[in-house]
A and B are shown apart, each in its own frame.
Chain A
């Protein structure tokens, strides 16, 4: 089984500043993927960034980047130059490469960007 833990229920950041959301996971598998999803008030689940566990290099997508520490089973999300549109719930998720390929989600972090 896979478990994903997000220990920060809520966070806030000033517009244009940088914020880091934490995520830890537990798995006995060696091959898996990690994701960050954004859920704005519309409830639509939007993929923000993804990371393959066998890749050492941290993924980046424009203002979003991750700090993947495989040995520590940590996968944090850094948002640079925060914008008002970044206000949302952020979910960390893991996925095995085999089997049903379903996602295991953390409980989420509610991020508020303050003007």
Chain B
């Protein structure tokens, strides 16, 4: 049981390049989230999904797209990277069954956009 995994762990991009971050969970969770963490700030929600085939915008969605084609995977895409997207990205998942909704986090992906 690996929990939540993220690929890659670290990436350097040039401005204008594109990339996809992959999040995978093996807990059969319905809900999945992408957060970003910037220095001096807490994590902020980018996009989320409440089930396979569904996605929704969070607090800071501009410049990102997401897809949830399979229940266990949640992809975060950057079509044209900008230096402002330099950040640490965290994926999280939760059961979505109500009651305690503890979120389980992946180890993070550090992205540097030059």
**Bound state CA distance, A26 and B62, in angstroms?**
25
- The answer to whether residues A106 and B105 also contact, given A50-B100, A101-B96 and a CB cut-off of 8 A, is no
Asked if B56 is an interface residue, CB under 8 A from chain A, the answer is yes
Is there contact, CB below 8 Å, between B107 and A105?
no
Count of B interface residues, CB-CB < 8 Å: 26
Is there contact, CB below 8 Å, between A100 and B42?
no
Give the chain B neighbours of A91 by CB distance below 8 A: 42-43
Interface size class of A (residues with CB under 8 A): 20 to 34
Q: 8 Å CB contacts to B: which residues of A1-43?
A: 4, 33, 42-43
- Digitize B37-59: 1 where CB-to-A-CB distance is under 8 Å, 0 elsewhere: 00011111100101000001010
Is there contact, CB below 8 Å, between B58 and A102?
yes
Asked if B111 is an interface residue, CB under 8 A from chain A, the answer is no
Is there contact, CB below 8 Å, between A4 and B42?
yes
Contact of B105 among A33, A44, A50, A97 (CB under 8 A): A44
Give the chain B neighbours of A100 by CB distance below 8 A: 31, 33, 45, 48, 50, 56, 58
**Which 3 residue pairs are nearest across A and B when measured between Cβ atoms?**
A105-B42, A45-B105, A101-B101
Given contacts A33-B100, A43-B108, 9 further A-B contacts (CB under 8 A): A42-B107, A50-B100, A50-B102, A97-B101, A100-B50, A101-B101, A102-B45, A103-B43, A107-B40
Residues of chain B having any CB pair with chain A under 8 Å = 31, 33, 35, 40-45, 48, 50, 56, 58, 88, 90, 92, 94, 96, 98, 100-103, 105, 107-108
List 15 contacting pairs A-B, 8 Å CB cutoff, sorted by A.
Answer: A4-B42, A33-B101, A43-B107, A44-B108, A45-B105, A50-B100, A52-B100, A97-B101, A100-B33, A101-B31, A101-B103, A103-B35, A103-B45, A103-B92, A107-B40
